[in-house]
């Protein structure tokens, strides 16, 4: 979500944090758990706390979040 909102490609983010662009895809799909160092680099790149990007619990799908937001209005 952060990457898409800022118009950053997987390759751009990978280059910024020093990993292969495929690693970013694995992270986004939940197929790979980052090291603490990588998680902190990604959080620093976006200027947010690491907890906004990574959690032990799965994040709610964006479609569900948007649907709930629409129901609250």
* 6-10, 20-24, 42-46, 59-63: least confident range: 59-63
Burial label for 26, CB within 10 Å (0-12, 13-18, 19+), is middle
At 56, the pLDDT band (50, 70, 90 cuts) reads low
Rounded Cα–Cα distance for residues 28 and 61 (Å): 12
pLDDT of residue 72: 61
pLDDT of residue 11: 96
The more confidently predicted of residues 61 and 68 is 68
d(CA 24, CA 32): 9
Higher pLDDT, 22 or 59: 22
């Amino acid at each position: 979500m952060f990457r898409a909102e800022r118009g950053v490609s997987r390759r751009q983010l990978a280059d910024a944090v020093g990993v292969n662009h495929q690693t970013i895809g694995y992270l986004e799909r939940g197929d790979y758990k980052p090291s603490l160092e990588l998680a902190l680099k990604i959080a620093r790149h976006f200027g947010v706390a690491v907890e906004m990007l990574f959690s032990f619990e799965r994040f709610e799908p964006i479609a569900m979040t948007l649907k709930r937001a629409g129901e609250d209005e």
